[in-house]
Amino acid sequence: MASNLAPQDLENLQLRAVRYALAHGLLYLPPGTQAAIPMSAIHAPIALFPTPFPRAQFERAKSLQSTYNTLYARIALDTWFLDEVMGTERGVGKVDDFVGKLWTGWKALRDEGLHQVRFIVSISDLCSHMVRPLHLGLFRSDYLLHVSEDNNVSIRQVEFNTISSSFGTLSQKVSEMHRHLCASTGFYESSPYLQALNLPPNNTIAGLVEGLAAAHTVYDVPSSQILFVVQPGERNVFDQLWLEYELLEKHSIKVIRLTLDELSSCSSVSSINAPLFITPLSTRGVIPIEISTIYFRAAYTPTDFPTPSHYTTRFTLEKSKAIKCPSIPLQLAGGKKVQQVLTQPGVLERFLSDEAHWGLGSSSPPEVISELRASWMGMWGLDVGGDDGVNRAREHAMNLVLKPQREGGGNNVYKEAVPAFLDSLPLEERQAWIAMELIAPPKGMKNYLIRAGGGESLVEMEVMSELGIFGWALFGDGVGESEGKVREKEVGWLVRTKGKDSNEGGVATGFSVLDSLVLVD
């Protein structure tokens, strides 16, 4: 897109992009930051030009989000389904220690009396004295463009994220940066598409905060606050802080940021389904603060739980009546195994057809179900049919990615690495892995990437870009006029761009840069 630009124009664009990022909070903490009060920051990794993306496919991805919001809300409320797919008796939890510990803790809380959900099959159920909890999801559905054998280009889903769906706020900042470059330089007329009318708006900050504020409002304790559970030494802190600032400035809602370590000594829940109170070290002697909503930006990976006490703290939070974002069942619903099981005949229809008598809003017509299925690649479990799943994966290895039940990037096995991995995979661990056909993105797309901090010169390379669509869902009792209604909304988007030869895609793990879109017809 920019190969015809003079070197001085490229340098000026890079300077303007870096200055804008530094001036507008498009930031990371530097590597190795240890001080409690950081003294410096660097800009996040960014793409110099927005990525061309078909307008119709962008609108299609956005239109699917409401259905996905409702789908994963219903999955989180189906205790039987999650027990079967993710539990330790018959599901993934048998062979995946992290999933197993989460499920076991959740099961113990249910046995102790944690509010749980049953199918709504009669008016007597609706009038039951049993109160079902509220859940909040801040979701992101990720897509790549796929070029089929007949050269049709359409979106294909990579994964659906139900916990710590990050970079919503920085994605808005990158969109604004590209709009600034367009307004100030016109990108030096490097492409006829690079006009303001082709740069779609992105208001993800307000959209995600709308979901958090909705949960806080429904909790209905005016003095309560929202808890952000964060990782120690978080470099991506500014992506979280923009949400905190928006909550305070636009909704007058205060936020407390604490790690699981800190929560182990300053949080308390008197009994199952009781309020969660926090007494931070800085406010000892002050009346404890009640928490309305717990927003997890940690607790999605085994490294967040180095000791058994970390799991104990996580389960203490879960047993409170605070609204969890996500609850353990909603976190489990985001597992790769669930994504694979949904592709099996009849499973998606179970949640979205007329037979799904959940009272969670209107049923999805068959064409919507077909649209969802059309956005998926082929996938199967390695445990399918005895050795059939593994043999099939070995046969098609060069067109496959193997995925475990992990978030955060850097966990998958690709192409030529598949056969050796299958040779080393113990029989009992097959159930924890799925095989997914690789998406074939368009070729010949180039961009200039600026790594975090600007320490490198501008790097031009052939790239591929992943689109993420954000949404939120608040579901359970007390959300709307009907029992179990889902309040949900599509609220923004994210683009991550990487070199075409890079298999992994995480920004935080250093594989990708943040980007935005220029829509083309």
* Residues flagged as binding site: 140, 159, 161, 163-166, 234-236, 240, 297-300, 336, 403-412, 414, 436-439, 466, 496, 498, 504, 507-508
Burial (0-12, 13-18, 19+ Cβ within 10 Å), 192: exposed
Half-sphere exposure of 339 (CA within 13 A, CB side): 26
Active site residue 118: no
Q: What is the DSSP string of 236-289?
A: THHHHHHHHHHHHHHH---EEEE-HHHHHHHEEESSTTPPEEE--GGGTTSPPE
Active site residue 257: no
Among residues 246, 407, 488, 490, the one annotated as catalytic is: 407
Active site residue 161: yes
Among residues 403, 430, 485, 487, the one annotated as catalytic is: 403
Q: Beta partners for 294?
A: 227, 324
CA distances 128 to 111, 122, 261, Å, are: 19, 10, 38
In what helix (H) or strand (E) does residue 473 lie, and over which residues does it extend?
Answer: strand 459-475
What's 92-125 look like in SS3?
HHHCCHHHHHHHHHHHHHHHHCCCCCCCCCCHHH
Among residues 166, 175, 364, 465, the one annotated as catalytic is: 166
Active site residue 159: yes
Among residues 159, 290, 483, 488, the one annotated as catalytic is: 159
d(CA 320, CA 270): 9
CA distances 465 to 146, 171, 406, 518, Å, are: 11, 13, 21, 12
Active site residue 407: yes
Among residues 336, 430, 485, 487, the one annotated as catalytic is: 336
CB burial readout 400-413, b (16+ within 10 A) else e: bbbbbbbbeeebbb
Q: Beta partners for 343?
A: none
Looking up tokens 């889903």 gives: 157
Among residues 62, 107, 132, 140, the one annotated as catalytic is: 140
Residues annotated as catalytic (active site), given as ranges:
140, 159, 161, 166, 336, 403, 407-408, 496
